[in-house]
Structure 1
Amino acid sequence: MAIPAALSTRAERAFMGTVLFQAIVVIVMVAIVFGKVADHVDLEQSRYKTIPCYLALFILAEVFELFMAYDALRLRNVIQLVGILLFHSALVVMAALQVHETRAALVLDASANWTTNYVGGGGPGTLWQTVFPFLIVSPVIIGVSWLVLIFFVRELYHEFGWAIFHIVGANPAAKTMYQFYQVIICLLKFDFFAFIGVTMQLLIIVLQRNTAEFGLTVAAIPIVLVLLIGAGLAVQREIKWLMSISLVLMLAAESYFFKLVRFYEPASRDQYITVRATLTTFTIIAFLLLFATFAIGLRCFADFDKGLLKSKLHDVTFRRGYSSSAPGTAGAKKEDGGYGSGAPLGQRVSIE
């Protein structure tokens, strides 16, 4: 039985369409805010740098979510779909925080109206009141689309229910090991976004280009990317030495989050004032994601050499169809009623 291509079912098309629609709306709303603010203030001033960062973050987040959504549908990966729902809920929080931080950047005098202080006022007719409706649209649209996505993930859960069975067979232990493998691969992808999100905010808003901290932050980008890619290859191909190095580097990378202290200590807190809430949220999430990746990585390391390597190398990532010789079919032939024969499986049973 051949696996249908991504977006071949109604639920898949609806899921992807929902993500695409909300991505377009949110990016347009953020771009409008950016354009209106850029017309009246100098975005190079530290106070207003939160606005271009706001635009960059949401473009990154929406493009990343589109990629993750298509990737999950292509791989028929229910765990990654659940991860997207969690990521989407985090986007709601991030969009709400941006309303607060944009106000902190723009409003210098909450009682002033457009006649006395158009740019820095918070009253009727001011720049803040002009962009506020566009800021509110983003969390509302993301929240509504999140509810829609939950509905379609439920349908996809049933559609994808037999995917792991075809890869690893009916062995419950193999199924559990494979699910942990899927979890760590999914976590590594979200680690990438969290790290890039924190780094982008630091580089755009806070750090001066002529400082050592700026150089160290830039240098950390390729190091972390190599770490994430190396960890993914190690767990997929069960390379013990590479997995050991990756786990050690994950622990070392946790020290990067000393920056969380700098957001609030008296000597440096003023430079983070317009982005403190978002940076704190991103940093804590990145810390928790990396710690979870380390913990799941230990579990996956313990599962090396237990017969799962063939399934990892021949799962949906590498082939788009299941033959009679695929893992889990036990070599059954079509005429003998093997897993490669008969009509497509329905939604009666799900083992995810």
Structure 2
Amino acid sequence: MYKPTTQNEWLFCGALLAQAIIILALEIYIISEWQVWVRPNVIQVTVSYVVPINLAIFVFTCAYELVLAIDAVHHKNNLLLFAICVSNACILAFSAMQPNSLKEIARRLPTARDNESQPLVDLDFDFWKRVGPAQIACPIIFGICTFIIWSCAYRLHKEYAWAIYRRIHGDMSIKTRFLAYEIYLVLIKLDFYFIAVFVVQYGLIDVHFEEPEFALTMALLPASFLMMALAFWCVLRERKIGMIMVIVCHAAIIAYLISRIIVLCGNGERANTADKDMMLLFAFVALILMICTLICAVVCTFNFNHGLKEVLNENSYKRDTQFAALPGRTDRSYSPYHRLSLG
């Protein structure tokens, strides 16, 4: 596995690692207290799935951002650095809404009863008093980490500018093709995250194990991962037939997302679900990103056999980045091409 090499890379990845560890510890504590508070019959209400799923989203987001951060510093990808910063700011906003939501659940569940008039939770257990501080601490941790990674990303952007310029050898036509390539790779990585979150929410909360839709919905998770892997391979190796298959998959996912948005916004049974607003948020973001991904995939396909494949050769890239990082190398400090950084 690639390890950061510069101080700014260590700070960037270290901040996300610390965020993941702290958030994981807080969420484990919250979910353990949740399990102590609720009774087995709580599964009769949908909210019993909403809370654990939302907590899992936090953990998955932190872990996925950490993986993307390592990938970004490994490939000197300024666009991916920016995408990680924006994603962390978004999860900060999402986490800031959770304390009020969880507090409302803690207020309403004790008054709920099952079909036999039995309470769904332990009425002697003050759930919010025990988990409130941990829940409030989550957006604080996200806020501190967001500030750190934004400042680190700015410094890394300047570090990577010269390495990226050397990679494209100053060719403006190659720069345009390389930019489309980088945007495409960033988009499909973000697509997978938003699609995965939507599928988990929609499958477990709305479809709620109803077959065959549940199995077909959850099958999108491995299918999306395989599509992402195929897209990486095809765009790097410039395989047109493979990219045509990937483009068809992009179009199919767009059609699926549109159909689910119509269903959620309609008057049917699927439209009456808990956490509907959050599902629509992730579905709309995933749809917009997937449309952009489809357009970028077509552009990348037309760029095949125009000199980009040689630039993307991993060995030549390593030589360029190593050259740029040689001690005493001052070209990047005064180069007039420094401003040509991609992203």
Which range, TM-score by smaller chain?
A: 0.7 to 0.9
- The answer for unaligned runs of 5 or more in structure 2 is 113-118
For the pair 1:24 / 2:42, whether they are aligned, the reply is: no
- Displacement after TM superposition at 1:83 (Å): 1.1
Q: Distance in 1 between matches of 2:222 and 2:303?
A: 29
For the pair 1:14 / 2:15, whether they are aligned, the reply is: no
Q: Which runs of 4+ in 1 moved over 6 A?
A: 109-112, 338-342
Letter in 1 for 2:154: R
Give the match for residue 322 of structure 1.
320
Q: Distance in 2 between matches of 1:271 and 1:129?
A: 31
For the pair 1:49 / 2:55, whether they are aligned, the reply is: no
- Displacement after TM superposition at 1:111 (Å): 10
- The answer for unaligned runs of 5 or more in structure 1 is 325-337
- Displacement after TM superposition at 1:69 (Å): 0.7
Matches within 5 A, 1:80-159: 80-108=80-108, 126-159=126-159
- Aligned length in residues: 325
**Alignment CA distance shift 1:134-1:263 (3 Å):** farther
TM-score by length of 1: 0.82
**Alignment CA distance shift 1:309-1:82 (3 Å):** same
Q: Distance in 2 between matches of 1:267 and 1:126?
A: 37
For the pair 1:160 / 2:145, whether they are aligned, the reply is: no
- Displacement after TM superposition at 1:129 (Å): 4.2
Describe the superposition over 1:11-49 as per-residue Cα deviations: whole angstroms up to 9, x where unpaired: 111111111111122222222211111101146342211
- Displacement after TM superposition at 1:323 (Å): 9.2
For the pair 1:201 / 2:201, whether they are aligned, the reply is: yes
Contact 1:120 1:127 in 2 (8 A): no
Give me the identity figure in percent.
Answer: 22
Letter in 1 for 2:269: S
Q: Distance in 1 between matches of 2:314 and 2:271?
A: 53
Q: Distance in 2 between matches of 1:210 and 1:191?
A: 26
Describe the superposition over 1:298-350 as per-residue Cα deviations: whole angstroms up to 9, x where unpaired: 2222212211111123367xx633399xxxxxxxxxxxxx9898833454442
Q: Distance in 1 between matches of 2:37 and 2:248?
A: 49
Contact 1:30 1:54 in 2 (8 A): no
Contact 2:235 2:301 in 1 (8 A): yes
Q: 219-228 vs 162-171, which deviates more?
A: 219-228
Q: 144-153 vs 91-100, which deviates more?
A: 91-100
Give the match for residue 116 of structure 2.
none
Contact 1:167 1:315 in 2 (8 A): no
Letter in 2 for 1:15: F
Contact 1:158 1:347 in 2 (8 A): no
What SS is found at the alignment partner of 1:161?
helix
What SS is found at the alignment partner of 1:263?
helix
What SS is found at the alignment partner of 2:161?
coil
